[in-house]
Structures are given as C-alpha cells and as structure tokens.
Chains A and B, each alone.
Chain A
Amino acid sequence: MPRRMGYDRWLFVTAGLLVLGGILMVGSASHYFAMSSGMSPWHFFARHVVYVVLGSAALVAAMRFPYRRLDDARFALGSAAACVLALVAVLAMPAAGGARRWFPLGIASVQPSEVAKLALILFLAYVLSRREEKVHETLAVPLPCLALTGLMAALVAIEPDLGSAVMLCAICGTMLFVAGLRWSWIGAAAGVAFVGAVVAVLAEPYRIQRIRTFWNPTEDLQGSGFQLWQSLIAVGSGGLTGTGLGQGRQKALFLPAAHTDFIFSVVGEELGLLGTGLLLLAFSILFWRGMRAAMRAPDRFGFYLVLGTTALLTLQGFIHMGVCLGLLPTKGLPLPFVSWGGSSLIASMVGMGWILNVSQYSN
C-alpha cells in the first residue's frame, strides 16, 4: 500500500497562480469586446470570477474524492456514454456564433465537449490500466479506444469545434503511444491522419488558404491571415515588458475572441516577454510535475489518469500558444486556467484536482 503523502505543491501553486492571473487577463481582454457588444464592460470578468469559485470547489472535490473509486465501469463507461449522448443532443441546440457547442442554461451555458475530454481520459485510463499487456491486440485495446475517440471527435467536429476534436485525438494518441502501441500502428495512424488532413484540405478550398496564410500570414492580411497577423502584431508590439495591463489595443476587435482563443496574445501585448515567458514556464512546470506525478502513481489507473489529464492540460496550453504565435494553424482553443469560459475552466480544474489527488499517493 502506497504511503499517503501531501499533494504536489508545485502543481497546486502553479495552477492557482494561473487561475488568479487569468482573472486579470480575462477582465482586461474582454473589456472592450463587452462594451462594443452592448454589454457591461465587466460582463465576462464577473462571470469568470464566479466560474473560478465554482472551479475551485470542483478542484477540491476532485482532489478529495478517492480516485480509485473512479476506476469503475459505471464511471468510465457511464460518463463516456453520457457524453456521447450529450454531444449528440447539443447538435440540436440553437447555434451561437455559428456553432452548436453549448447547452444554454439560463444565465450560463455548458459545453459538453469540455466534459467529454475528461470522460475520454477516464475511459482510456480504465481500459489501458486493465489491458496494458494487450495493447497490441486490435480488438482488446486499439479498437474500443479509437472507436470512442473517433465518435466523440466526429461529433465535436460537426459542432464545429475542430480544436477540441484535435485535442480528443491528441489525448487518445498520447495515452496509446505511452501505453506502448506498436510503431506500425503509430505509423498507420499517422498515415491515416495525414491522408485525412489532405482530404479535408482539398475538400474545402478555404482550408488551403488557411495553410497558405499559416506559412505566410502577410499574404492575405484581411482574410484568413488577418487573425494570425493581428496576433503576431499583438505579441510583437508587447516587447519585453508589454504595454501594461489593460493598455493593449489589439484586443479592441483586432484579435478575434481575445478573452478566449487569443488570450495568450493579449498577455504578450500587455505584459510582454515577461508575461508570455512566465506562462510558458508555468505550463512547463505543470507538464514536469504532472508527468512526475504520473510516474509515481501507485497504480496503473492513476498513472493513465494523470498522464491523460496532464497531456490534456499542457498540450492544450502549448497548442494555444503555438496558434497565437503562428507556429500552428489557427484552431480555436482556450488556454487552460486562464481563458474565459466556464466549462473549460471548471473541467481544467477538475482535471488538476485528479492530478493533485493522485500526487498524494506517490509510491
């Protein structure tokens, strides 16, 4: 029986600082957008504070709840099934901003794809911890894992929320990769992904344009290159120390979704290299301590649970940064702990709760 120890302070403090910094950044980044949309300038800020409170409670609950009780078919299969149903149901909801991603619940709305990410991790951890030795048996591991991931990713992509679909695939890929999936499988998956990407690009001409502007953003400054170019201008104009918190101008409708998908760019403009460097450091710490907690996990379920959650939180963070910096094609993904969005924030804090939970039982 592993010793019960204190939870990982590095993770707790880092996540806590990210959340606190996120409150400031959401307030700054959403101010102009809220006003120009006819809302109170503090509309997003106030909601974000509420989400932080709810998220903190969720984090504590996820941290306290014995994680081994999650290692149960009722949880693993039940939550996956519930999420698939929810992802189907959300498609019937009225579109908001051109997408059907949310269940409107009065004053707030719930985004099932954020919950689905956690449910997928739970399911994969459940399957892999039991069948680690059979990872090469098509029917035992790869098929059910890929089937659920594929189903969820397809439903999310229909919404459309390509960023989240990519994240679901990334989680599954990471966990199967680490579980030791054969290289031939990995090569095949990469090939399928490549062919799929090529087909997807050829099917929609605007995606070719996206790719082209990714390589050369100044080529189409007003079209698809606009967002990326504006993001680069924001980050670059911040310089070393930035224009000062609240002083950025790029969030004034130059950056699309400044308080969600491009909040890293706002940090870059207002806080400069100092702010972006600290964010990069913070997510590196999360990765380091998260992987450390995974490696020290007392059981296979704990290992896969923490591995998946760490991959989710840090990969999404790095991808968000990469997108803002023009290193990756534009995909709308919030920065975990920092960006506005209740579902994303609370889901991230639940995931962090799990990591902290497992970190208490290091062997």
Chain B
Amino acid sequence: METTVRGRVALFALGVAVLAAAIGARLLQLQVFRADELAAKAARQHEQMIDIGGGRGAILDREGRELAVSVATSSLFAHPQRVQDRPRAARLLARVLEMPESKILEKLRSEAPFVWIRRRLDPQTAKAVEALPLPVGPGKPFGFETEGKRFYPQGALAVQVVGFANIDQEGVEGIEKVFDETLRGDAAKYLAVRDGRGGMVLQLAKAPSKTPEDVVLTLDLALQHIVERELDVAFRESGARSAAAILLDPATGHVLALANRPTADPNRYGEAKPEQKRDRAVVDQYEPGSTFKVITAAAALETGTVTPERLFDCQNGAIQIAGHRIRDHHPYGTLSVRQILEESSNVGMIKVGRTISPARFDEYVRRFGFGARTGIELPGEQQGMVTPLRRWSALTGASLSIGQEVAVTALQLASAIATVANDGVRVPPRIVLGTRDSSGSLRPLPGPEPERVISTATARTLRGILEGVVARGTGRKAAVPGYRIGGKTGTAQKVDARGGYSHSQFVASFAGFGPAENPRLAGIVVLDSPAGGVYYGGQVAAPVFGRILADALACLRVAPDECAPIPAEAEPSGSAKRRPETLLARKDEEQTAADDAPVATGPGQVPDVRGLSLREAVVALADRNYGARVEGSGVVLAQAPPPGAAVAAGVVCSIRLGAPPEPPARSAAEGRSSRAIPRGRKG
C-alpha cells in the first residue's frame, strides 16, 4: 500500500481517536464530577411539590345567605418559549381577553418557562379562548388551570364588613382578613412527577389538615338592605362627605346591619379608592357632641344626683366655664333634666354633669365602653379618646357633659345606646356568630361577657326621656308611625385645621332604639359634614334613623305599639314621600295572590312575592334593588307593580299583607317554609 494512504489513514485514525478521547473526557466530567449537580437539577424538574385546592369558605349572614363565595374559574397560562407565532397569539388573545396586545406580547416574550396570561376568567371568556386557533390544552403552549375566584353575590352590600380577598384568595380586608385562617383551607400537597411537556402524575404527599370553614355573621341581609338603601339616599341628598349607620340587637350585641358611605363594589375592588373601602363605623373616631349627653344623663341619674324632673337654669343660652363661653343653639330659661335632653341644651347638660364627681363621670364613661375597643371582629377598630382623669382641665367636665373633648367611634356610641335599650346591661357588640364546617354545623364563637352598667330602673327612666326627645324634642323626625322610638340627636362641630371648632363643618348624628318599651333594635346614623346648610342631627340624621327603623321593625315583624290598623292612605313609614317614585297600589293594578299562578321573573323585573312573609318579600324585592312599602301584616296578598313588570332599580313597590286567602291550603307559617326565596342573582 502506498505510503501516502497509510499516512492518511494514520491521520484519520488520530482524528477519530481525539474525538473519542474528547467524548471520554466529557463523560467523566458530566457523570463523575457534575453528577450530583445535574442529578439535583433533574430532580428539580421532575419532581415538584404543588398545592392543590385549599378553597375558601363562604361568608354568610345570620340566615345563611351568601355574602362572599368562591367559584371555580379557569386561569390561562402559557409556556412562552413554546409559542410559535407570538405576535399572532397576542393579537388573537387581546381581542378575546380585552387586554392590550402589547401587554400580552410582553408576557409571551418572557424568559420564564411559565407565565399567567390572565387569571380567573369568566366561563364565556374561557370558552372564547378555547375557540381560538391557538394550541390550548394539556401539553400545549397554552393551558388552563382551575383556580378559585372570590365572588360577592350581594355586590356592595356590607362591603366594608365583609372585606375583600385578593386574586390569590388571601383575605386583605374586613372579615376576609380577620378570619382568613378560618376561611382558608390547607392545600393538599402533591408530589408531581412531571414529563417534558408539563404533563404530570400526582401522588398525594400530604393530605390537607384543615378544610375551609364558612364564617357566619350576625348581619341580617334584609336589615342590611334597608340600612344601605336609606343611608344611600341620605348620603346623596345631604351631600355629606361620608356616612355610617349601625343596627344592633341590644340583647345580644349582634350587629344586624352596618353600612358606610362612600362604598365600593367588591367585585371590582381594584378600582375602589381607599375612602370607599373605609369601615368608618369602627375605624373613624369623631367628637360625638350631643348624642353623648345620654351618657352624662345616665351617670347623673344612676348616681342619684338628679331626677328627670329636677330643674336647672339654662341661663338664656350661655355659660362661662374657665374663660370659655359655651352657648345653646336656642336660649332657654329653666328646664327639667327631661327637657334639657329633649331640647339638647348645652348649658343645662353642663350643669347636670357638674352634679357628679369627675371620678364618677369618668367611671361611667368608661363602663359604657368609651376609650376602649369594643372587641368587634373587624380590623383596625379604634378605641376613641377619653381624657384620663389626671389630665382633666377645668373645662373637661363641662366639655365631656356635652360630648366634647372626647372621641368615639360610631360603634361605641351605638353600643352605649344599646346598653340603655338593654335595661342597662352592656353586651359588647360582635359581628361574627360563628363558623360553619363542611358538615354544615355551626360552631358558635364564644360571645363577650355582658356587664351591667346602669340599673334597669335608670335605663328605663332614661328610655322614657329619650322617647320624649323623639316625641317632642329635637329628634321628632325620627318618629315612626305605630312605634314608640327613643333616641338622641347630635350635632358636633368638627375641629378645623387651626384646632378650633369649625362653624361650617359638622357631624350630624342620631343614636336611638325602638320600640321604646322593649327595644328590639338600637343603632346610630352618622353623617359627616352634610352640605347645603342643613346640618343638625335632628334634621339630617334623625329622619334616616326613623326610616330605617320603620322598615326594619316591619321586617322583623315587631308588633306595633299602637294596635290601631294603619289606614291605607297613611304613610306606613316616614320614608315613602322621599322616595324617587312610588308606584301606588291602585286596586285595579294590584296583582293579588288569588289572581293566578306564580310568575317566574328575572333580573330587572319585579319578583313574584305573593304568598311570602313580609320578611321574605322585602328580601326578594331588595335582591333586585327594589324598595318595599308595606301595608298590613301576615302574608303578601297583593303587590304593585305586578310580578314580572320591568321596572327600574330603586323603585319602591307596594305590598299589601293580610291573612292567607285559603287557610287550609297555606298558613302563614307554611307559606314561609314551603316556598323558596326567589333569588334575583345566583351566586
């Protein structure tokens, strides 16, 4: 063989030997020196601990109606590197998802192996995405993951109480935050053995140790509806900067309704401004002004330094205290304690306050719960400010007597008035009834200890006086036909920027209860800085309270104090004349129960409430944002407009109640249980 060829063969062999040697060296490097590192990398991409489920419990009102629920939704993700034509994909998705194309493209150009394109899509959008000519599905560049989404079926109702859970279903405000642990379930841990396309086999590694639980609130949605509706009207018409209202059950301390304005839609929470999310009833403190005179009077009556009939000279409307001149809004001569409260005389009340020692006064203020948090299960509760005894100035006693030099929350004041309503026993307010596990059984939360603040006799005396405030005094506009209502107005000057009292900014409030004899409800309405020159509590807050109580007492089917039947023409509540439009129940338009079969209706239509109890009917109407004007008692016999009528939201419907038409067929009680509440919105 030629030497050239031999030489070339040797060269070729040498080249191959070098290649083989390189392979050998590389094998040593990878399989000996880097083996551990690469094995760890392999494990990381093959095995992954993933959390599945968890879920989140619902938030319910006391009747089990849903305020917050979690619904399963589809979240769209992508493996960006596997997407072929990114601009095209972005263009297609942008149209369906209503997102800017550039934003989607940016996500698709991400370096990450996994990106969320859009989370928690509604079912229609998810379907539309699936219909796109894009590779969507397991093992494809795009895919869906099921995730829970928080939905608030009642919309803005009690939003500041319920709060909000973010996109990861973590409670960030309100009950959602405070009871986050309860609502949350542990996710089950799975060991996922993955393949290269993201497909995986799951092995349960750790069973969930905790299942999600529901939180049952003390709120009553029917009452909440009423309060929200009335507060809304008052807030809009008064031009107030903000407003809050609370209804308590005095006997239990249960918060039955709590509303704030301005408010937010929890289903569009991202768009809400901070002032809309603020639970003012518990986190805002203000100088209460005259509503606080109830506390002064209670302390003086309880210590026995005054009787309701004891007379004080009101000095024609002005008094000089430690170099300060304190005025009445109207000059009075000699007034009894009863009249001082009815007319809300500052001078008289200062003199009543002087009859008790500062120590005593301070003691009662604190026993009524001022200066301390009520302990309600809501985040950010303020404790208010009560001047410590050792820092009292010469003016403090006088100021405190008329509700100045003290800061309270609306809830504290509502709780104090509820204490009076509850015969002097203070039951600290609470808003969570208990938790409900998956079996549906309610585990009640231990309630706070009730505590006697004043004697039953004093409480009853005081209630009588406060009834007079509504019957004859400054609170006349809180009157509710058929019921005896008690309460106290308050008009506090706000502290302005210079530290003095403002002459244009006021907090108008009304704290009260009803019925006066055996109060079922106590509460407060606070309007901050009403505009338009009408700012007295008796003018702007008292009527709101009256309207709330009128509907709320009817809703709770509290027997009226006066047994005389309400004439059909009379306003059954003080509210009707203020409503935008009342569709009067003319006999020829009325739809009665006997007329025909139940009518199926949808949103935007008046529901068929015939045959329902008053409470059910109010809820059914309120569910679709209709008001209710009530006549009579029993079950609904007739309603106007008729069921199914397409009527704008906010309209007040008339319902006439009476004994059930066919006694054997359906008694009132049966009617209640045998017929489901028609729900306008489905959760």
Chain A residues within 8 Å of B, Cβ to Cβ: 32, 36, 132, 174, 177-180, 221-223, 226, 230, 232-240, 249-250, 252-255, 268-269, 272-273, 276-277, 280, 283-284, 287, 291, 294-295, 303, 307, 311, 314-315, 318, 321-322, 325-327
A315 to B12, CA, bound (A): 11
Structural contact, A177 and B196, CB atoms closer than 8 A:
no
Q: Check A318–B16 contact: CB distance below 8 A.
A: yes
| A178 adjacent to B196 (CB under 8 Å) | no
A-B contact pairs, 6 of them (CB 8 A): A178-B12, A232-B30, A236-B30, A283-B20, A318-B23, A326-B26
Chain B residues with CB below 8 A from A326, complex form: 26
Question: Do A230 and B196 touch (CB < 8 A)?
Answer: yes
Q: Which residue of A lies closest to B22 (CB)?
A: A327
A174-B45 in contact (CB<8A): no
Q: Answer whether residue B569 sits at the interface, using C-beta atoms and an 8 A cutoff.
A: no
Q: Whole-angstrom distance between the alpha carbons of A254 and B195 in the complex? A: 6
Interface residue? B498 (CB, 8 A): no
B12 and A177 form a contact (CB under 8 A): yes
Q: How far is the CA of A252 from the CA of B24 in the complex (A)?
A: 26
B41:A237 contact, CB within 8 angstroms: yes
Bound together, the chains give a CA A223 to CA B111 distance in angstroms of: 9
A264→B640 CA distance, assembly (Å): 83
Most chain A beta carbons < 10 A, residue from B6, B22, B27? B27
Q: Are B1 and A287 in contact (CB under 8 A)?
A: no
Which residue of chain B lies nearest to A222 when distances are taken between CB atoms in the complex? Answer: B81
Q: Give the chain A neighbours of B662 by CB distance below 8 A.
A: none
Min Cβ gap B112→A in Å is 8
Q: Which residues of B contact A253 (CB under 8 A)?
A: 195-197, 199
Residues of B within 8 A of A252 (CB): 46, 194-196
Contact of A240 with B31 at beta-carbon distance under 8 Å, contacts A222-B113, A234-B42, A252-B196 already known: yes
Partner of B4, one of A180, A238, A249, A254: A180
Question: B647 at interface (Cβ–Cβ under 8 A)?
Answer: no
Is B665 part of the contact surface with A, judged by Cβ < 8 Å?
Answer: no
**Which of B32-40, B87-95, B471-479 lies at the interface?**
B32-40
Nearest CB of B to A304, in Å: 10
The tally of residues in B whose CB lies under 8 Å from a CB in A reads 46
User: Max chain A CB contacts within 10 Å: which of B20, B41, B193?
Assistant: B20
B16 touches A315 (CB 8 A): yes
Cβ-Cβ contact count across A and B, 8 Å cutoff: 133
Residues in B lying within 8 Å of A, measured CB to CB:
1-2, 4-6, 8-9, 11-13, 16, 19-20, 22-24, 26-28, 30-32, 34-39, 41-43, 45-46, 79-82, 111, 113, 139, 193-197, 199
Which of B11, B31, B37 has a CB less than 8 Å from the CB of A235?
B31
Partner among B2, B20, B34 whose Cβ is within 8 Å of the Cβ of A236:
B34
Q: Which residues of A contact B80 (CB under 8 A)?
A: 222
**How far is it, in angstroms, between the C-alpha of A269 and the C-alpha of B113 when the chains are bound?**
24
Q: Are A178 and B42 in contact (CB under 8 A)?
A: no
- The reply to whether A321 and B45 contact each other, CB–CB distance below 8 Å, is no
Smallest CB separation, A355 vs chain B (Å): 15
| Contact in complex: A280, B38 (CB < 8 Å) | no
Which A-chain residue is minimally distant from B11 (CB atoms)?
A: A177
User: Bound complex: CA of A295 vs CA of B7, how far in Å?
Assistant: 12
Contact with A174, one of B12, B32, B82 (Cβ below 8 angstroms): B12
List of B residues within 8 angstroms of A273 by Cβ = 27-28, 31-32
Interface centre among B38, B82, B139, B196 (most CB of A within 10 A): B196
> In whole angstroms, how far apart are the Cα atoms of A238 and B36 in the complex?
9
Contacts of A295 in B (CB 8 A): 1, 6, 9
- Pairs of residues from A and B, 9 with the lowest C-beta to C-beta distance, nearest first: A236-B38, A253-B196, A222-B81, A254-B196, A252-B195, A237-B42, A237-B39, A239-B35, A180-B4
Is B16 touching A314 in the complex (CB atoms < 8 A)?
yes
Contacts of B8 in A (CB 8 A): 177-180
Instruction: Evaluate contact between A321 and B31: CB separation under 8 angstroms.
Output: no
Question: In the complex the two chains form, is B32's CB within 8 Å of A232's CB?
Answer: no
The distance in angstroms between the C-alpha atoms of A229 and B637, with both chains bound, is: 77
Decide: A36 near B12, CB < 8 A? Known: A249-B46, A325-B23: no
Asked if B20 contacts A318 (CB within 8 A), the reply is yes
Say which residue of A177, A232, A314 sits within 8 Å of B38 (CB atoms): A232
CA distance A249 to B4 in the complex (A): 50
A290 to chain B, nearest CB (A): 10
